[in-house]
Structures are given as structure tokens and as C-alpha cells.
Structure 1
Amino acid sequence: MPLAITPLYAGLLALIFIVLSVLVIRERFAVKSSVGDGGDQGLIKRMRIHANFAEYAPLGLILMLCAELQGAPAVAVHAMGASLLLGRFLHAVGMSRTPQIIALRQAGILLTFAMLTLSALTLIGHSIF
């Protein structure tokens, strides 16, 4: 049976990644810094938002893919995907505002960590037992 759920969330997360990439590129043009951050705080902030997304989203997708391949119920895989998607979105929005919206950042990382932790423990348990 072809995978149906993980590709949906991979596509949605890829679109967010593209938006974050464009924001970094636009800021690079604005501050005329093609390499590095040039010491510009706005560029540094956008780069960190982009990098943070890139650090967490792939691992979440790998865990989702493993769960879907192991035959996890569709509702569980969708819960994983929704948590990862919402978590990464909230974190990026919260971090991008000036001043930062700390509650959104916290909610975003909490959803992301919950997804990663629960998924990892479930996959380990399914593999052992």
C-alpha cells in the first residue's frame, strides 16, 4: 500500500521551509550580505528561525515515516504530522516577531518535543515487543 500520510506533511513542511528560505534570502539582499550574517541582527534572527526548522522537521518526518511503515493507525500518524506541523509553524511565528511572542515559541517547541518523544518511544516499544 502506498504511503499516504507522511508525504502530505512532508509537502506542507517543505512549503514552510521554502517561505523561511525566501525570508532569509530577502534579508540577505536588504543587508547586502551574500555569505554569513554580516553582524546584522535581523539576518541572524531569520537564519536561526530557518535553521531551527531545518534541525527538527526532518527528524520528525523520519519518525512519521517509520510509524507509517510499521502500520501505525492513520489517526496516530496524522496526530504526529499535525503536532510537528503546528509546532514548527508556531515556533517560527513566535520567534519572527519583534518582540518575540515567547508563548508561541514555547508552544511550538513543546508540540515538537512531544511529537518527537512520543514517536520515538512508541517506535522503540514497537520494535522491541
Structure 2
Amino acid sequence: MDGVNLGHAASLWVGLHLLLLLVLSALVVRQRQKHKILLGDEGVPQVAQAVRAFGNATEYVPAGLAGLIVLDVASQSPLLVHIAGAILFAGRVIHAVGLSTSGGASIARSIGMTLTWLAYVFLIAATLFTAIV
């Protein structure tokens, strides 16, 4: 690769994940305004769920994006970046929906975490392979 498009594939996934984080943050604000809560969740389940959906995304998204960016900057195939990005994004969206709609265990939360971990395993293998080869 000539270096001109470094980061191009990852930029799609960074943008989409930032949009997801913005939406989840807005949902927290909406729930806090609705329930007149300035800080924390005051024991209101809907606020707690919105806070955790945003919090969980902020816990998993940055490391995943770092992996995508490393692959892209290391001139790996854009297809690899897009596969990992799509799996991570799908996992994060599905998990956020599951967590936002249910405070307990749910199929969506399980699928979302499974996809997130699958993306992590894929990124771990691809970045280590990139470092070794």
C-alpha cells in the first residue's frame, strides 16, 4: 500500500462507533431529564440501564477501535478491518439495545457480548499476526 489511504477503512468504524456513543449518551441525558436526576441514577431502573448501556460501550469500544486503527495503519487488508469493525459494531449495538430494554439477562445482551468478544479475538489474532510477520 502506498500510505495514502492509511486509516481509511478504520475511519468508517470509528465514525459509526462515535455515533453510537453519542446516541447512548443522549439516551442517558433524556432519561435523567425525564426523571429529574442530575447525578447517578437514584435507583430509577430506566436511568440505570441507560447509564450502563453507555458505560459498557465506553468500556469496550476504545480498545476495539485501537485494534482496527492498528490494522489499518499497518496496511492490513481493508477487508479485515471491515470484518472486525462490522462484528464489533453489531455486537455493541445489539448489546446496547439489550441492556437498554432489560435490566437482567437477555438474548440481545448475550449475543452482543459474544459478537464483541469475537471481534476482540479476531483483532487480537490479526494484530499479533501483523506484529510477528
Q: Is the pair's TM-score, using the shorter chain for normalization, greater than 0.5? A: yes
Q: Give the alignment partner of residue 70 of structure 1, picking from 63, 71, 74.
A: 74
Q: Give the alignment partner of residue 53 of structure 1, picking from 54, 57, 63.
A: 57
Does the CA contact (< 8 Å) of 1:49 and 1:92 recur in 2? yes
User: For the aligned residues, what is the CA RMSD?
Assistant: 1.6
The count of corresponding residues between Structure 1 and Structure 2 is 129
Q: Give the alignment partner of residue 84 of structure 2, picking from 71, 80, 83.
A: 80
1:57-90 residue CA offsets vs partner (Å, 9 max, x unmatched): 1111100000111111111110011001111001
Does the CA contact (< 8 Å) of 2:52 and 2:99 recur in 1? no
Distance 1:90 1:100 in 2: 15
Partner letter of residue 98 of structure 2? G
State the identity as a percent. 30
Give the TM-score of the pair, scaled to structure 2: 0.89
Distance 2:72 2:60 in 1: 19
Distance 2:55 2:111 in 1: 18
* Aligned twin of 2:132: 128
Does the CA contact (< 8 Å) of 1:94 and 1:100 recur in 2? no
**2:96 is equivalent to residue 92 of structure 1:** yes
Distance 1:13 1:109 in 2: 16
User: Which structure 1 segments of 5+ residues have no match?
Assistant: none
1:66-118 residue CA offsets vs partner (Å, 9 max, x unmatched): 01111111111100110011110011111222476722211111111011112
User: Which structure 2 segments of 5+ residues have no match?
Assistant: none
Does the CA contact (< 8 Å) of 2:41 and 2:47 recur in 1? yes
1:52 to partner: Cα distance? 0.4
